[in-house]
Amino acid sequence: MVLLLVLACLLPPSALSQPFQPPRMNTSPLESLAYDVGGEFNFVRVQFDSYYGGGMGYGPWSIDFPDADRNFLRGVSRLTNIRVMSDPIVLRLDDERIFDYPFLYMLEVGQGGGISMRPDESQNLREYLLRGGFLLIDDFWGQREWDNFYSAFTQVFPDREIVELQPDHEIFHVYYDIDGPQLIPALYRTDEYGEQGINHASNHAILDDSGRIMVLVNWNSDMGDGWEHTYHPAYPTRYANAAYQLGINYLMYSLTH
């Protein structure tokens, strides 16, 4: 009952009765939407080091930035009653400010040999997640990149299994009713074929002791491109739609669990 009441505050009145539509580009989209410096949600992207490329400047962590982040904020403002802030934030995992935000985003965690986390970064991330934080990991492909990701995250939670989520998990139904994981391709690609030898998407998670998802792993799918290329004439609308539906479901879950 508490969850239903919370969701009632987050849902626009027509959310469940109208077909999904991605946010439309206006002349000045950042000014035309009701952004709020005291908003309830801002998009926080994690800056990280990779083994072979480092994390200074613009490494794998910055792919699709800032267009994907800003477009997702537009989508949240357009499609929900959540008040959002207009400018996305970039933080490192050892920054104490991550505790001010319930939702973190990382992508391309398998490139450059994978994430290189110092002990203080691993410890701070572990505490953040156990306190109730949520981390979304997106846009990495194939077995080699999975192995790189897995090696890094066993340092954060060596005592917890990474489990695969089934289509009936509530995270796929908390706001939009979605038929499980979706293969969202990059620009100029198709969802008929994945990248690096795997042709289907899957979602995996690290759970806390109560079964809450702390880390959501979006493997073999690229929501970031769906957000970034919302207005690109060569990017099919159905891919962008899927990216917003999944992203908003993940956000709603993070805010209500």
Instruction: Identify the residue whose tokens are 């009653």.
Output: 81
Hey, what long-range contacts does 190-197 have (CB within 8 A, 24 or more apart)?
A: 191/239, 194/141, 194/220, 195/141, 195/142, 195/220, 196/141, 196/142, 196/143, 196/144, 196/145, 197/142, 197/143
Taking the CA atoms of 15, 257, 122 and 147 in sequence, report the sign of the dihedral they define. negative
Distance CA 46, CA 12 (A): 29
Q: What residues does 202 pair with on adjacent strands?
A: 219
| CATH class as words, domain 35-256 | alpha beta
**Over its length of 257 residues, how does the chain's per-residue pLDDT go in tens digits?**
334 434 444 555 444 333 344 444 443 344 455 556 666 789 999 999 887 665 455 677 888 789 999 999 999 999 999 989 878 899 999 999 999 999 999 998 877 777 889 999 999 999 999 999 999 999 888 898 999 999 888 889 999 999 999 999 999 999 999 999 999 998 876 666 545 567 688 999 999 999 999 999 999 999 999 999 999 999 999 999 999 999 999 999 999 99
Distance CA 158, CA 43 (A): 28
